[in-house]
Amino acid sequence: MEHYLEVKNLHYYYGQIHAVKGIDLYLDEGEIVTLIGSNGAGKSTTLNTIAGLTRSVGVKGEILFNNKNIAKKSGNKICKLGIMAVVEGRHIFSQLSVEENLYMGAYSRKDKRNVKKDIDEVYELFPRLLERRNQMGGTLSGGEQQMLAIARALVNKPKIILLDEPSLGLAPIIVEHIFEIIKEINTKMGTTILLVEQNSKIALKVSSRGYVIQNGEIVISGTSEELLNNDKGRHAYLGIANKEE
């Protein structure tokens, strides 16, 4: 069966360090799929390799998008194909306003006439950003900066968004709001999402399927419900102590 995005036997080497060890995963169009695991498990390296943000010399294996291998393509070329990464750390332009940041998200688009309309649609998803449209990015709260990073990616009209640790460093109430928006992006815009997260419980709540990575290898995969109810996974990999949590 042909999948929208498929990773086959993916390895990544940082010099002599074998960081990703033969990963297989896939996304079908319109899905939210999550890749979960502890810090240092290889989640971000996997996402960055799919996005073309790692050195191609370290990549072995296949990354198929619409059945074409993109494993050695640069990040810029992968972005133009419609795969956008929102990397860990909310890399926004701190000295630009919210709206200027959003226009920067459309830099590679050829249909410039539609950019304003699409920014207005993004403001509907993120009304807080509309309120702060003239505010400098660097003065926003952590949650607002995360919203801006996601919104900027959406302005580029991606087919797939790769989200790396969107909950990192945010208060629980803000995390809940961010994940509500992620779900809305998927349902309203039909955007396919690969979500990389340490917060396994909330990630599995919004996704349909998931993969658990440990030491650079996939150790469990299945539907989100299966992973939430897998005792081995819950205790050893997901960090969920009991089913009542």
Give yes or no for a contact between 3 and 26, defined as CB atoms under 8 angstroms apart.
yes
Q: How far apart are CA 55 and CA 72, in angstroms?
A: 9
Residue 125 has pLDDT above 70, yes or no: yes
Q: Are strands 217-223 and 59-65 parallel, antiparallel or unpaired?
A: unpaired
DSSP helix/strand/coil, 183? helix
pLDDT at 133: 96
Per-residue model confidence as pLDDT tens digits over 149-197? 999 999 999 999 999 999 988 999 999 999 999 999 999 999 999 999 9
C-alpha separations of 150 from 46, 60, 124 in Å: 19, 29, 13
Our CA dihedral for 34, 158, 124, 197, rounded to 10 degrees, sits at 20
In sign, the C-alpha dihedral spanning 68, 73, 77, 82 is: positive
Mean pLDDT of 11-21: 95
Mean pLDDT of 45-71: 95
> The whole model's pTM is what?
0.92
The H or E element that residue 13 is part of is strand 5-14
DSSP helix/strand/coil, 133? coil
Q: How far apart are CA 111 and CA 122, in angstroms?
A: 17
Can you list the domains of the chain with their CATH numbers?
A: 29-53+74-236 (3.40.50.300)
The H or E element that residue 216 is part of is none
Q: Which two tokens stand for residue 9?
A: 């036997």
Angle between helices 115-125 and 142-155 (to 10 degrees): 140
Q: Report the half-sphere exposure of 147 (CA within 13 A, side-chain side).
A: 28
Going by C-beta distance under 8 Å and a sequence separation of 6 or more, which residues neighbour residue 111?
none
Angle between helices 115-125 and 172-189 (to 10 degrees): 130
Q: How far apart are CA 186 and CA 218, in angstroms?
A: 25
Residue 242 has pLDDT above 70, yes or no: no
Q: How many CB atoms lie within 10 A of CB 64?
A: 17
Per-residue model confidence as pLDDT tens digits over 63-121? 999 999 999 999 999 999 999 999 987 789 999 999 999 999 888 777 878 899 999 99
- The two most distant CA atoms of the chain are separated, in Å, by 52
The H or E element that residue 70 is part of is none
